Chains A and B, each alone.
Chain A
Amino acid sequence: MKWLDALVQGVLLGGLYAQYALGMALMFGVMRIVNIAHGDLVILLALLGITLVGVLGVSPLVAPFLLVPMGVIIGWALQRGVLNRVVKADPLPSLVATFGLSIALQNLMLQIWSADTRSLSLGALSSMSIELGPLYVGVLPLGVFAFAVALTACLHLALRYTKFGRALRAAAADGEAATLSGVDAKGVYALATAIAVGILGAAAFCQATRTTVAPADGGAQLIYAFEAVIIGGMGHISGAFLGAMIVGIAQVVGSRADPGWGILSGHIVFLLVLALRPQGLMSRT
């Protein structure tokens, strides 16, 4: 029973990681770049949400409706102002630029919010749980998971069937050829990053309500998202979701075995996948 519980908790934790991973898979799939400040943006949005809820005196449930538009704007500005200048075959400029951004953001947040951990309380909802057979499952983690499932499905369908999805896949396959066919590649890139960071707005709300946030947490979130993406298969939306589940399960099962081994087991599963199936679980090649 202990292990079944660990499995369920791992899947629910994976729901949170999936939200970080989707944006990263989307950006890498389209532009072949990784935003090292990805995790720091989650933390930034979460801290902004906590502060806004406190200052405006509104219900915490309003926060996602503020954070998602803010994420979209930040993502769009990030792409237009920084990333569009470094989308190239050479990985160095984009990595170094976002690395610099990550250091600056982390320390800026430290300056504004100090190193304290914070969280967003939803009152009674935070501790509510329902009985699923022999297990008790928190309502909030279940909601986060359901949202991640819905998000993955929406993103998958949007990429497949909408005009924007087609333009995005065209720009991903060959930016120049897409431009020749009338696709505004830079515009598509800006939209992709806007969506990715917009998702982080929702993820920030989930993270702040489910656990805690502190300015230095960004690097860890980036690593979990990255592990999920690689385990699932690079640039693969549903693969990223599956990978997030696996990272979540590995961490929870590992920490039940020995508290010191939680996050380490996530890393070990990731390294094992690299050794045994480097193209990722969902990849067709």
Chain B
Amino acid sequence: MSYSNVIVRRQTTSSVIALAVSVLIVTAIPTMPYWASNGHIRWVIELSCLIAIAQMWNLLAGYAGLVSVGQQAFIGVGGYVLFVFANNMGFNPFWTVPLSAFAAAAVSIPAYILLRRLEGPYFAIGTWVFAEALRLLTANISYVNGGSGMSLRVMAQYTPGQRALGLTMMSSLLLLLTVGGSYVLLRSRFGLALTANRDEPVAAASQGVNVKRIRLMIWMLAAAGTGMAGALYYMAQLRITPDAGFDPYWSSICIFSVMVGGVGRLEGPIIGALLYFFATRFFGQFGATYLVALGLLTLVMALFSPGGIWSLLSRLVNWPWFPVTRVVVNQSQRAGEDQECRSGADRKRGFGDANGVNGTKHVDAASIKPGRETYQL
């Protein structure tokens, strides 16, 4: 095969449709105050936060190999930065939401420096200790009213309509930055390095991928996204306490959404977060029993379907919403089979593999030199 008649296809029909729908949703959310009820606006705000934190956890666990059970640290930091800057210092609360993202990223750096030496499972529990330390520290600081928490009184100066508009615009921005940002990130050169790192860190390092720097960058980005979600969530709640903001249950939500939806795929956390949100709406009344079922479902998925619902779905139909793969199409046999360029470990880890048929060829992402946009098969 000569290389000149090969083109790289990066979109599919399903992904073009998904992209159009996504753009529509993101532009529609800020118009909600004009046509939707207050209850539905609250739903959308909460759902945006859930999708954002799940997507950020997916970047960590699915691509950087960092499992965290301490994401509540960044939720709490994001929330508290909003309350302190808006309430105690008089900043505009809406503009403080994106600022919270930077604050959370800044806090994540010392955490990473302290915890990076711990091996996989110990790193995870270390993040929890870090979050607990922040919770107890916050409860001891009288400037933020200690354990009794704070109320966002400055919001009283805005009309309900202004508040709804600000909150929905921030929800849109949050989705754009976390989901859209992840999509753009994973389709870039950096994304190739990230996927290579996920599949085989040693091989990735030998191909010139700076694994340590990638991990730190993803850790900071995930903290930023999670922090912004925390700020938005508690702006809608108007109240924050250390026990709520730094509640380990936030990590449970991340883990459930990503593991049940599908780890290592952009679609997975969205499906998982939607599932969690609606399951909680319908079955939340059963309280502890519902949470027992949620825990057991997470356990069963981890044991028997590590790729989650998305992997099961893509076994039936291969219609990706946000494809980050590069599909190499050979023009001389265009009518025939596409040749899919997909990382080898996808099959190993049980991710959606609908194309194990004739004419497909799997190429390890790690064997591709970063910096080239077309690949030799």
Question: Is A bound to B?
Answer: yes
Using a CB–CB cutoff of 8 Å, the interface residues on chain A facing chain B are: 28, 32-34, 36, 82, 85-86, 90-97, 99-108, 110-111, 219, 222-223, 226-227, 230, 234, 258, 260-261, 263-264, 267-268, 270-271, 274-275, 278-279
- A82 with B299: CB separation less than 8 A: yes
Contact with A along B45-76 (1 / 0, CB 8 A): 00000000000000001000101010000000
Given contacts A95-B67, A100-B299, are A271 and B114 in contact (CB under 8 A)?
yes
Q: Evaluate whether A234 and B292 lie within 8 angstroms (CB atoms) in the complex, with A82-B299, A271-B129 already known.
A: no
Give the most central of B125, B133, B139, B259: most A CB within 10 Å: B125
Known A223-B132, A267-B129, A274-B114; judge A97-B124 contact (CB<8 A). Answer: no
Cross-chain contact A260 with B296 (CB below 8 angstroms)? no
Query: How far is A99 from B125 in the complex, measured between Cα atoms in Å?
Result: 11
The reply on B375 being an interface residue by CB < 8 A is no
Query: With A96-B255, A267-B133, A271-B114 as given contacts, are A102 and B295 in contact (CB-CB < 8 Å)?
Result: yes
On chain B, the number of residues with a Cβ less than 8 Å from chain A's Cβ atoms is 46
| Choice from A94, A223, A260, A270 contacting B121 with Cβ under 8 Å | A94
CB of B130 within 8 A of CB of A271, answer yes
Contact residues of B between 126 and 156, Cβ < 8 Å to A: 126, 128-130, 132-133, 136-137, 139-140
> Does B312 sit at the interface, judged by CB under 8 A?
no
Besides the contacts A264-B133, A278-B118, what 9 more A-B pairs have beta carbons closer than 8 Å?
A: A34-B124, A92-B263, A94-B121, A100-B299, A107-B289, A111-B292, A230-B126, A260-B140, A267-B129
A261 to B65, CA, bound (A): 34
Q: Which residue of B lies closest to A275 (CB)?
A: B114
The interface residues of chain B lying within 8 Å CB-to-CB of A219 are: 128, 248
Residues of A within 8 A of B373 (CB): none
Q: Mark B288-308, 1 if CB is under 8 A from A, else 0.
A: 110111111111111100100
- Provide the bound-state CA to CA distance between A258 and B141, in Å: 13
A-B contact pairs, 19 of them (CB 8 A): A82-B299, A90-B65, A92-B302, A95-B124, A96-B299, A100-B259, A100-B300, A103-B291, A103-B295, A110-B288, A111-B292, A219-B128, A219-B248, A226-B126, A230-B118, A230-B126, A268-B133, A271-B129, A274-B115
Nearest-neighbour CB distance to chain A for B291, whole angstroms, equals 4
Q: Find chain B residues with CB under 8 A from A86 CB.
A: 302-303
For residue A101, which residues in chain B have a CB less than 8 angstroms away from its CB?
295, 299
Please state if A230 and B295 are interface contacts (CB–CB under 8 Å).
Answer: no
B37 to chain A, nearest CB (A): 32
Asked whether, in the complex, the Cβ of A104 is within 8 Å of the Cβ of B296, the reply is yes
Known: A34-B125, A227-B129. A99 touches B114 (CB 8 A): no
Of B139, B248, B303, B306, the most chain A CB neighbours within 10 A belong to B303
Q: Is the CB of B288 within 8 A of A28?
A: no
Enumerate chain A residues within 8 angstroms of B129, measured Cβ to Cβ.
Answer: 223, 226-227, 267, 270-271
Instruction: Report A272 CB to chain B, min CB distance, Å.
Output: 9
Q: Give the docked Cα–Cα distance between A156 and B67 (Å).
A: 31
Evaluate contact between A99 and B133: CB separation under 8 angstroms.
no
Contact of B298 among A82, A94, A99, A230 (CB under 8 A): A99
Given known A-B contacts A270-B129, A271-B129, A271-B133, A104 and B295 have beta carbons under 8 A apart: yes
**A96–B248 touching, CB < 8 Å:** no
Residues of A within 8 A of B259 (CB): 96, 100
Asked whether B140 lies within 8 Å of A234 as measured between CB atoms, the reply is: no
Cα A275 to Cα B126 in complex, Å, equals: 12
Q: B117 an interface residue at 8 Å Cβ cutoff?
A: yes
Say yes or no for B120: interface residue by CB 8 A criterion: yes
Q: Which residues of B contact A32 (CB under 8 A)?
A: 119-121
A residues less than 8 Å from B294 (CB atoms) = 103-104
Does B43 sit within 8 A of A, measured CB to CB? no
Contacts of B128 in A (CB 8 A): 219, 223
| Cβ of B278 under 8 Å from chain A | no
Given known pairs A95-B121, A96-B302, the reply for A264 and B137 (CB within 8 Å) is: yes
